[in-house]
Amino acid sequence: MARILIVEDEQDTRIFLTTVLRDNGHEAFEAVDGEDGLDKLDECNPDLIILDMIMPKESGVKFFRKVKGTDKYKDLPIIVNTGIGHFKELFDQDRKALPKPEAFIEKPNDPDFLLKTIDDLLS
């Protein structure tokens, strides 16, 4: 069982991800945007983060930079979960400015692919 922080502004997506994770034995924590995610990071001490990119208050890119810029969380696996495929290209093009996430998944999410990706990253 893994502790997973979901940082996602779309309520339906958060509910879907939380349900899939909990139904498969994981502990899921929810954050409604990047700012909320940063506030909850130490509280839930996750094994992995599922991160949306386009959010109010604190974008996924800013959240990603802040998390990966800390000694405590720099090795924490982050799955970028987005409906906008060009974010993968952004990470691939400018690795000096932004480290590459451990995985990308596209919305709408395939539960089996999501769970396999999580299992691969945590095993």
56-81 confidence digits (pLDDT tens): 888 888 899 899 999 999 999 999 99
Looking at the domain 1-56+77-91, which fold is it? Rossmann fold (3.40.50)
Within a 10 A sphere around the Cβ of 23, how many other Cβ atoms?
A: 11
Sorted by where each begins, the domain ranges of the chain are 1-56+77-91
CB contact at 8 A, 4 and 26 = yes
This prediction has a pTM of 0.89
33-58 confidence digits (pLDDT tens): 999 999 999 999 999 999 998 888 88
* Burial (CB count within 10 angstroms: exposed 0-12, middle 13-18, buried 19+), residue 89: exposed
